[in-house]
Amino acid sequence: MDWRDVGFYARARLSRGVGRWLNRGAPPPAPPAPLDDALRGAVTPLGLTRLLEGRTNPEREAAVARWLGARGVPFARERFATFEGSGENFCVEVGRGDRALVLIAHHDAVPGSPGANDNAASVAVLLSLLERWAAREPRGRVRLLFPACEEVGYLGSRLWVRAHGVSDVRGVLSLELPGVGDSLAVWDAEAATPFLTAVRGAFEGLGLRADESYHVIGRIPVFGSDHRAFAAAGVPAYGLTTVPAAEADALRQFVFRPVRSALRSAVRRPPPFDTYHTPRDTSATLDPTALERLAAALDAVVAELGSGS
């Protein structure tokens, strides 16, 4: 343990406390879909969101492992327990190559929220890509990481990096809030890197336009995700989120002025943050087109990196 771990723990406790205060008096979320129904459902990002939506964190964790096992997908699993929290990370390797693109979707949610957009839909996007790649192996090596305890200072990813290092990592994208909006945002991208250039090239190959249908944003205060564990180890690593273009100005105010945003958040938060960490974060609020757009963008990034490997 070091003092940085204590800092992560303290921030996570504070975040949970704020979340409970904001959600006080809210009705309990609806019960989740029966797991067997979700396992047999459509293998689409929206359909697979039901796999985790509305379940407790241990149930979400077990659902991911059960889906991978039912599909015959080989995966590594690593359980951990520290003073900060406990859980299990899952990792799937596909493709070939010396260095891997790491795509991350945490499977935990905050208590009291069904956790559809944060972050069941991100897990669903990656699982749908796995189904796609079962019939067509991607060019290049891809590592899909499904960590626990992102909501506890991305604990699962910090422990993964400590155990495995980053020497074979080419770049990292962590998925957050993928299901609301019509444009993509790559965030925590403070400096140009060959990896960021490849991501841009993949997006533009799909017809996306910079500062219109996709945005590259510098480091965001307060909000973070699993990629930061990798960035701290020295590899290019960014968050990837779907946002509504019409809310761009409001979102900039919200994420870059966190103190003012915290004071105003009880009144209005711009999408996709209007349901973030609340009982309203259900699959009914998600746009299947947004989820498919993100899946196509990730597939394009994999192809772009594979063409240059």
Q: What is the pLDDT of residues 89-117, one digit of tens each?
A: 999 999 999 999 999 999 999 999 999 99
Which of 91, 49, 47 lies closest to 73, judged by CA?
A: 91
Q: What one-character DSSP code corresponds to residue 178?
A: -
Is pTM, for the whole model, over 0.85? yes
Output the domain CATH number for residue 78: 3.40.630.10
- The half-sphere exposure of 29 on its side-chain side, counting CA atoms within 13 A, is 25
Tens of pLDDT, residues 127-146: 999 999 998 999 899 999 99
CA distance 57 to 113: 11
Residue 54 and residue 30 in contact, taking contact as beta carbons nearer than 8 Å: yes
Please list the residues that pair with 103 across neighbouring strands.
144, 173
Query: Tokens at residue 215, please?
Result: 């945005």
Q: In this prediction, what percent of the chain has a pLDDT beyond 70?
A: 87
Which of 146, 147, 166 lies closest to 156, judged by CA?
A: 147
How would residue 259 be classed by pLDDT, with cut points 50, 70 and 90? low
Place of tokens 């990798």: 230
Please tell me the total count of domains within the chain.
1
Pick the residue with more confidence: 256 or 63?
Answer: 63
Residue 35 and residue 291 in contact, taking contact as beta carbons nearer than 8 Å: no
Give the distance, in angstroms, between the CA of residue 34 and the centroid of all CA atoms in the same chain.
Answer: 24
CA distance 309 to 303: 10
CA distance 235 to 217: 17
Which of 33, 28, 47, 26 lies closest to 124, judged by CA?
A: 47
Q: Mean pLDDT throughout 249-268?
A: 70
> Which own/partner contact pairs does 163-166 have at CB distance under 8 Å and 24+ positions apart?
163/78, 165/233, 166/230, 166/233, 166/234, 166/235
Full domain range(s) for residue 244: 3-23+30-307
Q: Would you call 144 helix, strand, or coil by DSSP?
A: strand
